[in-house]
């Protein structure tokens, strides 16, 4: 199951952005893998107060989202889908710019984490 963790300045989350961001990230995974995985996508948004956000060793005011997507390891090498990591990084970055504007593109960070089979579970059972 695709699981997004998004860290972003708290001030960027204004009540209107959250549903747009959840939808855009879910659409991004759906664009790469199809409707089945889209329907399983989970998105967690973590707002970080400005005083706790820095870039290059200095407190920062820019919106610079960090998105981590956890997926089963095998999802990154599905036959017939091409270069899945590159497609995901592009789709997620496009989703961020769709919601926050092009100004976030140079600072948007996407981390893809492959979880080995049997190292995750649902309802107390490994999946």
Is 64 within a domain?
no
**Has residue 127 got a pLDDT over 80?**
no
pLDDT confidence band for 123 (50 / 70 / 90): confident
Q: Is 1 within the bounds of a domain?
A: no
In a domain, 6, yes or no: no
Average pLDDT over residues 112-124: 89
pLDDT at residue 100 above 90?
Answer: yes
Q: Is the pTM of this model over 0.85?
A: yes
Question: Does 65 fall in a domain?
Answer: no
Mean pLDDT computed over 96-116: 95
8 belongs to a structural domain: no
Q: Which residues of 82-103 are buried (b: 16+ CB within 10 A; e: fewer)?
A: eebbeebbebbbbbbbbbbeee
For the chain, the domain total comes to: 1
3-state secondary structure the chain: CCEEEEEEEHHHCCCCHHHHHHHHHHHHHHHHHCHHHHCCCEEEEEEECHHHCEECCEECCCCCCEEEEEEEHHHHHCCCCCCHHHHHHHHHHHHHHHHHCHHHHHHCEEEEEEECCCCCEECCEEC
pLDDT of residue 120: 84
Per the prediction, the chain carries an average pLDDT of 92
Give per-residue pLDDT as tens, 38-90.
888 999 999 999 888 888 888 888 888 999 999 999 999 999 999 999 999 99
In a domain, 32, yes or no: yes
Look up the domain containing 32 and give its range.
17-59+78-113
């Amino acid at each position: 199951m695709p699981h997004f963790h998004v860290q972003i300045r708290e001030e960027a989350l204004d009540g209107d952005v959250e549903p747009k961001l959840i939808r855009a990230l879910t659409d991004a995974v759906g664009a790469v893998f199809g409707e089945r995985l889209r329907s399983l996508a989970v998105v967690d948004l973590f707002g970080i107060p400005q005083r706790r956000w820095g870039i290059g060793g200095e407190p920062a005011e820019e919106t610079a989202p960090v998105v981590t997507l956890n997926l089963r390891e095998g999802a990154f090498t599905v036959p017939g889908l091409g270069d899945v990591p590159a497609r995901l990084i592009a789709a997620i970055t496009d989703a961020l710019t769709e919601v926050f504007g092009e100004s976030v593109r140079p600072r948007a960070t996407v981390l893809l984490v492959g979880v080995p089979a049997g190292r995750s579970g649902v309802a107390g059972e490994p999946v």
